[in-house]
Amino acid sequence: MSSIESIKQLLPQVRRDILRMVHQVNSGHPGGSLGCAEFFVALYQHVMDYSTDFKMDGINEDLFFLSNGHISPVFYSVLARSGFFPVSELSTFRKLDSRLQGHPTTHEGLPGIRIASGSLGQGMSVAIGAAETKKLNNDKHMVYSLHGDGELQEGQNWEAIMYAGGKGIDNLISTIDYNKQQIDGSTDDVLPLGNIGAKLEAFGWIVINVEKGNDIPAILAGFEEAQAASRNEKPVAILLHTIMGNGVDFMMHTHEWHGKAPNDEQLAIGLAQNEETLGDY
Amino acid sequence: MGLKEYTYTDKIDTRSGFGVGLAEIGDQNEDVVALCADLTGSLKMNAFKEAHPGRFFQIGIAEANMMGIAAGMTIGGKIPFTGTFANFSTGRVYDQIRQSIAYSHKNVKICASHAGITLGEDGATHQILEDLGLMKMLPGMTVINTCDFEQTRKATHEIAAHKGPVYLRFGRPAVPNFTNDLPFEIGKGILLQEGEDVTLFAMGHLVWEALKAAKSLYQQGISAEVINIHTIKPLDDALILKSAIKTGAVVSCEEHNYLGGLGESVARVLAEHHPTPQSFVATQDTFGESGTPAQLMEKYGLNAASIVIKAKEVLNKKV
């Protein structure tokens, strides 16, 4: 478990990885990746108990499932920087014969990935299944998952939310990346989500709001609260209020950078705002 | 060449073979778990549920969630068996199966009852005739359609031992149970009747019909070979080729659309290695309708009489 100082040192490096990965293949999803950088760093550096000697079954480890697979750049960067595979492999992102596919997959055997995601709305069901198996195995470790807010427009989520609430899946902490943006614009413009917290509570969940979703201490406090609330016959959701594109000023507060790569000049600006702390890949 | 007589003591539904097999492997293997989407009785999963309540998961009417939960349950070593109707096991949840199970190569056994037109009175909304095509197109998916109670029971055991995703298709009507003495191995066809003039490749409920057709043809002086292809993928290419080379004419028999089913799989093997005249006993790119199973099998040309007609047709094309 790393100190908050070392976590803060990792953050700008992860942002640099995201920008450089997306730039070099002129494709990928920087906005949501940047918005969740603090979440991933906190999760993998401070919250979860896991082994980098990767085994699919993950027995006696905490598990994480990324449902909104398009933010693969941040996932890959944090997995590599946490020791799952060589950092140099980040240079293969989205290229032919790479284990770092556009969207995460188990298909190429990349350590750290336990399910394919990309087609939205499926990750919570998978996380519930893994949580059920942990209960059967008397494995006291937790299951974590991340979902986009726009992704909640997919109906399967609500089947899963109903199941987890109704069946008391209390070893699951699902975080919603609440940035209020999706490809076509704001979630309010595309399809209003309404009061997500109240909806989850109505389905039997405990909901924890983290208003400063890009602030490491606030995220860690949210996880602590979530862990304390879990194992009490209810699933726990964290509504993580994030800023899309966080850490790169011209990418912030807009959906414009959902799935667009920066050009050379924009990359230089973004990198100048984030110090190379641990060495680029 | 003589005619081998097949007899049966009882008629029983294939889904009951699944129910018995599931309960048996549940007793033998603690990693086996069962998931159902509000059709426990229809899928005959009650015995498993009663014997192993802690390993039975009632998901509710939420098949997409069921497929995802099943995929997740494999992580940690469980072997999930999902149970619902074939329509809701495939078309309704195709993307969930594709991404979370097939592409992710999860050890999930998708067990599908009430497949095909013999579901009967409920009509076309529930009678899927496209599921084999959907499932066989998924890379890495093993696809099986069993023909009677005993074969379904044995297949349930075999798929539990097999590592990887499987689609097991069975049905609702009571049919002759005649495979007690026959082995079942995934991917290995079964030579039920030796013949010389034409080969009947049959799967599912059409296997007994093919045996009846062979008897009728025999009485008319035509020697038909009958082969049960229960595994449409991986296909027993060698057995199919060997028989087609011997007889020089084939009929494929299945309770499925001729697009995407067994017939196309057989035709692919033959086209590539030994082009052979073929006719298709299958539905002709149509939806089903309400009726009794026997009425529907007759109307849609899926019985012994139709197989006899198609066999004679293909014999006329023989070179």
Taking only the tens place, the pLDDT of each residue in B95-145 is 999 999 999 999 999 999 999 999 999 999 999 999 999 999 999 999 999
Q: Is the pTM of this model over 0.95?
A: yes
Residue B2 in domain:
no
Unique residue bearing structure tokens 């009507």: B173
Say if B1 falls within a structural domain: no
What confidence score (pLDDT) does residue A170 get?
Answer: 98
Q: Which of A116, A134, A136 sits opposite B100 (nearest CB)?
A: A116
Whole-angstrom distance, CA of residue B294 vs CA of residue B239:
31
| B109 and B201 co-located in one domain | no
Distance of CA B159 to the CA centre of its chain: 13
> B68 and B93 share a domain?
yes
Q: What is the structure's pLDDT at A141? A: 98
In 3D space, the residue among B252, B246, B200, B242 whose CA is nearest the CA of residue B224 turns out to be: B200
What average pLDDT score do residues B157-168 get? 98
- Residue B318 is assigned to a structural domain of this protein: no
Q: What is the mean predicted confidence (pLDDT) over B157-167? A: 98
* B212 shares a domain with B172: no
- Residues of chain A positioned with their CB less than 8 A from the CB of B67: 125
- Domain assignment present for residue B109? The answer is yes
Count other C-beta atoms under 10 Å from residue B313's C-beta. 13
pLDDT of A2 above 80: no
pLDDT at residue number A1: 61
| Interval A76-104 mean pLDDT | 98
How far is residue A70's CA from residue A74's CA, in Å, rounded to a whole number? 10
Helices (H), chain B: 14-28, 46-51, 63-73, 86-89, 94-96, 131-136, 149-161, 206-219, 237-247, 262-273, 293-299, 304-317
Both B145 and B70 in a single domain?
Answer: yes
Q: In whole angstroms, give the CA distance from residue A175 to residue A145.
A: 6
Which positions ≥6 away from A50 have C-beta within 8 Å? A44, A58, A61, A62, A63
A50/chain B closest Cα distance in angstroms: 14
- Residue of chain A nearest B95, judged by CA positions: A119
The DSSP bridge partners found for residue B227 are: B191, B201
- Both B131 and B157 in one domain: the answer is yes
At residue A85, does pLDDT exceed 70? yes
- Give yes or no for residue B306 having a pLDDT over 90: yes
- pLDDT category of residue B319 using cuts at 50, 70 and 90: confident
What's the CA gap between B287 and B119, in Å, rounded? 13
Question: What are B228-281's pLDDT values in tens digits?
Answer: 999 999 999 999 999 999 999 999 999 999 999 999 999 999 999 999 999 999
Can you tell me the distance from the alpha carbon of A134 to that of A128, in angstroms, rounded to the nearest whole number? Answer: 10
Give the architecture-level CATH label for domain A4-272: 3-Layer(aba) Sandwich (3.40)
Query: Is B282 domain-assigned?
Result: yes
Classify the phi-psi angles of B239: left when phi > 0, otherwise alpha if psi is within -120 to 50, otherwise beta: alpha
- Amino acid letter, residue A69: G
Side-chain half-sphere CA neighbours of B295 within 13 A: 9
Residues B89 and B25 in one domain: yes
**In this prediction, what percent of chain B has a pLDDT beyond 70?**
100
Band of pLDDT at residue B185, cut at 50, 70 and 90: very high
Question: Which residue does chain A place closest to B76, by CA atoms?
Answer: A57
For residue A254, give both structure tokens.
């807009």
* Rounded Cα gap, residues A274 and A38, in angstroms: 14
Which chain A residues are within 8 Å of B57, Cβ to Cβ?
Answer: 132
Residue B6: inside a domain = no
Residue B309 lies in a domain: yes
pLDDT of residue B9: 85
Containing A261, the helix (H) or strand (E) segment is: none
Q: Are residues B250 and B220 in the same domain?
A: yes
Provide mean pLDDT across the span A189-194: 97
- Shared-domain flag, residues B156 and B228: no
A88: which 2 tokens? 């140099």
Task: State ipTM.
Answer: 0.97
Structure tokens at B277: 């005249």
Q: What is the mean pLDDT of residues A179-195?
A: 96
Indicate if B129 and B276 belong to the same structural domain. Answer: no
- Spell out the residues 6+ positions from residue A172 whose beta carbon is closer than 8 angstroms to its own: A127, A128, A131, A142, A143, A144, A145, A164, A230, A235, A236
Residue A3 banded pLDDT, cuts 50, 70, 90: confident
Domain stops at, among B148, B176, B204: B176
Note whether B64 contacts A106, CB cutoff 8 Å. Answer: no
Residue % of chain B over a pLDDT of 90: 98
Chosen domain end from B142, B176, B210: B176
Average pLDDT in chain A: 97
**Above 90 in pLDDT, residue A7?**
no
- Is residue B230 within 8 A of residue B147, CB to CB? The reply is yes
Establish if B223 belongs to a structural domain.
Answer: yes
> Are A59 and B105 within 8 A, CB to CB?
no
Residue type, position A240, single letter? L
Selected for mutation to probe chain A from B75, B98, B101, B138 (highest A CB count within 10 Å) is B75
Residue B149 belongs to what domain range? Answer: 11-176
**Could B78 and A136 be called an inter-chain contact, meaning their C-beta atoms sit closer than 8 Å?**
yes
Using CA coordinates, name the residue in chain B closest to A60.
B76
Regarding whether B264 and B286 lie in a shared domain, the answer is: yes
The CATH number covering residue B104 comes to 3.40.50.970
Q: Give residue-wise pLDDT tens across range A225-263.
A: 999 999 999 999 999 999 999 999 999 999 899 999 999
User: Residue B1 above 70 pLDDT?
Assistant: no
| Average pLDDT score over residue span B28-51 | 98
In sequence order, the 6+-apart residues with CB closer than 8 A to the CB of A92 are A98, A99, A100
Please report, for the domain that includes residue B291, its CATH number.
3.40.50.920
Question: A99 CB contacts (<8 Å, ≥6 apart)?
Answer: A85, A89, A92, A108, A109, A110
Are residues B158 and B44 part of one domain?
A: yes
Q: Domains in chain B: how many in total?
A: 2
Q: Mark which of B176, B209, B236 sits at the end of a domain.
A: B176
What are the Cα distances from residue A237, in Å, to A206, A215, A226, A234? 6, 18, 8, 10
Residues B275 and B146 in one domain: no
CB contacts < 8 A, A to B, total 117
Alpha-carbon Rg for chain A, nearest whole angstrom, is 17
